[in-house]
Amino acid sequence: MERVYRGIGASPGIGIGRVLIYREPELAGWSETIEDTERELERYRAAVREFSARAEARAEGFELAVGAQQAEILRSQAAMSLDPVLAERIEKKIILGKPAEAALDDECRRFIESFAASSEEVLRLRAADVRDLRDGLLRILLGLPETDLSHLPPSTVLIADDLSLAAVSSLDPANVVGIVLSHSGQVSHCAILARALEIPAVVGTPGVFEALSGGEVAVVDGTKGEVHLGLSPNKLVGWGRNREQFRLLRDSLREFIGKETHTAEGVPLCLEANIGSENDVLRAQEYGIDGVGLFRTEFMFQSRDYFPTEEEQFQVYQRIALALQGRPLTLRTLDAGGDKLLPYLHHPQEENPELGCRGIRLCLREERMFRTQLRAILRASAFGNVRMMLPLITSVDELRHVRALVAQCREELAREGLPCGRDLPLGVMIETPAAVVMARLLAREADFFSVGTNDLTQYVMAADRKNTQVAGYYSHYDPAVVRSVEQIAQAAREGGIPVAVCGEAGADPLYLPLLLSFGVRELSVLPAALLPTRKAVSRWSLEEAHAVAARALELETENQVRAWLEENKRL
């Protein structure tokens, strides 16, 4: 009999195959006493070294095969294993007579239990990360082999409670056609890696694990978030067709590789990439890009345990600028704070970190660190078409303050005989309500705007972008957000400066007629969204876009706007 289990679509596509149930082995059975404290401490330290080296090796493999942003997830696990606070606590317990396994288990359990009980999804996800770390270290201490799922049979639908990062990163997409996790969330690290591997995945389906014994034929619809079981042969044929359609769609995008981006009547659009590292540029360049519209420089800061030096930053920026061969490289200055904490920086304890010291505020507070980045950017501007962009701007003052710092850094560099480009366009991200209201004034002093629709939606709607409790409010289709974007584009037009969109809405095909109609001619999207966006742009003429946008602006509710854009969608 047919059964459907509903969860959350975590990686799009359809997979049809046989169920294989995977359970992580119980990690237990260590002794309760130790003989030699020094030896025990060394055993623990050696396990940490081994774990960190394995995570780093996995990250490198993943970076080559898939992409740097995803590899960062694996790297951050290596960094977490080396966390000095955790090490100190565990070592204290060992000194007090606990074996390494028990000390590790005790300490991690405290974190896991308190994070897992949190109502915040971000913290619950952190519990999964700590569990992953503990299990990985325990395996090494207990002499168990590393999880390796690289040799599963062809057409496997992998069902598990949750998967460790080591397990997901070892999967071979040629064999695994679908993943179903009874726990885990859409923004879990597992889900991100599954998307990167293009394996359809559904998460958050508690019932499914118990209902299966293995060997059943299952369909995983990672787009809708459904798992279908007990299907008749006829139905299976239908699902096979759906799977082909999805693949055809994916394949149809290939004709857009390396092409220019323009509307149906030939109006050109600048299509750029959002990147987090040098490798992302390489991937994006395979599809053809007009530049980089957003380099999230914070990844470089997050993947180290110290501030990257001026020289280190300069080298990275310079290499990317050169690789782009005259096409723009838009460097966003450090956007840390909020949920992006740097382990080596003292972030203030904040009740509402998203409304706290993040983005440009943090940079202006940590001026020495900021100057280092400004100098590196200025130096890189001698080697390409570099632009600088400031996150979380709320006032004209901030922009003026940065301009003054840039001028000072330029003078310093000139005195030191270090070359800079003659011109460094300075743009602002429009992602706060204050910036929307001030857009006309900001447009007089900024060289360009880039709309960060992710944060703009969060702040306009007063809905935390990671809080699933208020996910219903967090929508860029809301008339409040649509009107904000229109106002921003109008202010840019009046001020005679270009306006780009670099938030997720820029890659949403439903949103495209709005952006085209408002006059946005520059979109910056993740590498995976480049081809779908190029294809979507080619489906619209400006006249048609104006007609759809005019009606959308008359609508009063989020539902109406979404339904209207759905009705007019062109894929």
Active-site annotation, residues = 189, 502
Alpha-carbon span 158 to 156, nearest angstrom? 6
Indicate which single residue of 63, 431, 486, 508 sits in contact with ligand PEP (rule: CB under 6 A). 431
Rounded to a whole number of angstroms, the minimum distance from the CB of residue 503 to Mg ion is: 7
- 69-77, 208-216, 381-389, 452-460 -> range binding ligand PEP (CB under 6 A): 452-460
Rounded to a whole number of angstroms, the minimum distance from the CB of residue 502 to ligand PEP is: 5
**Contact string (CB under 6 A) for ligand PEP, positions 311-340, x = contact:** ------------------------x-----
- The H or E element that residue 501 is part of is strand 499-501
SS3 of residue 68 by DSSP: helix
For residue 198, what are its two tokens? 């293009």
Residue 452 near Mg ion by CB under 5 A: yes
Query: For the stretch 209-231, what's the b/e string if a residue is b when 16 or more beta carbons lie within 10 angstroms of its beta carbon?
Result: beebeeebbbbbbbeebbbbbeb
Rounded to a whole number of angstroms, the minimum distance from the CB of residue 214 to ligand PEP is: 40
Identify whether the C-beta of residue 535 lies closer than 8 Å to the C-beta of residue 252: yes
Chosen from ligand PEP, Mg ion, none, partner binding at 366 (C-beta under 5 to 8 Å by type): none
Indicate which single residue of 191, 374, 390, 502 sits in contact with ligand PEP (rule: CB under 6 A). 502
Identify whether the C-beta of residue 549 lies closer than 8 Å to the C-beta of residue 543: no
Chosen from ligand PEP, Mg ion, none, partner binding at 393 (C-beta under 5 to 8 Å by type): none
Determine if residue 77 is left, alpha or beta; phi over 0 gives left, psi from -120 to 50 gives alpha, anything else beta. alpha
Determine if residue 22 is left, alpha or beta; phi over 0 gives left, psi from -120 to 50 gives alpha, anything else beta. beta
Residue 298 near Mg ion by CB under 5 A: no
Alpha-carbon span 496 to 194, nearest angstrom? 43
Residue 452 near ligand PEP by CB under 6 A: yes
Query: What are the counts of helices (DSSP H) followed by strands (DSSP E) for the chain?
Result: 23, 16
Identify whether the C-beta of residue 169 lies closer than 8 Å to the C-beta of residue 190: no
Residue 515 near ligand PEP by CB under 6 A: no
Rounded to a whole number of angstroms, the minimum distance from the CB of residue 274 to ligand PEP is: 7
Closer CB to ligand PEP, residue 337 or residue 384?
Answer: 337
Closer CB to ligand PEP, residue 66 or residue 502?
Answer: 502
Closer CB to ligand PEP, residue 127 or residue 281?
Answer: 281
* Gyration radius of the chain's alpha carbons: 25
Chosen from Mg ion, ligand PEP, none, partner binding at 453 (C-beta under 5 to 8 Å by type): ligand PEP
DSSP assignment of 343-362, as one string? TTS-PPP-SSGGGSS-THHH
Query: For the stretch 160-176, what's the b/e string if a residue is b when 16 or more beta carbons lie within 10 angstroms of its beta carbon?
Result: bebbbbbbbbbbeeebb
Number of residues that bind ligand PEP (CB under 6 A): 10
**Contact string (CB under 6 A) for ligand PEP, positions 247-286, x = contact:** ----------------------------------------
Indicate which single residue of 455, 464, 522, 544 sits in contact with Mg ion (rule: CB under 5 A). 455
Rounded to a whole number of angstroms, the minimum distance from the CB of residue 362 to ligand PEP is: 13
Nearest to 170 by CA among 66, 316, 15, 323: 66
The residues of the shown chain that bind Mg ion, judged by CB under 5 A, are: 431, 452, 455
Interface positions with ligand PEP (CB under 6 A) = 294, 296, 335, 431, 452-455, 502-503
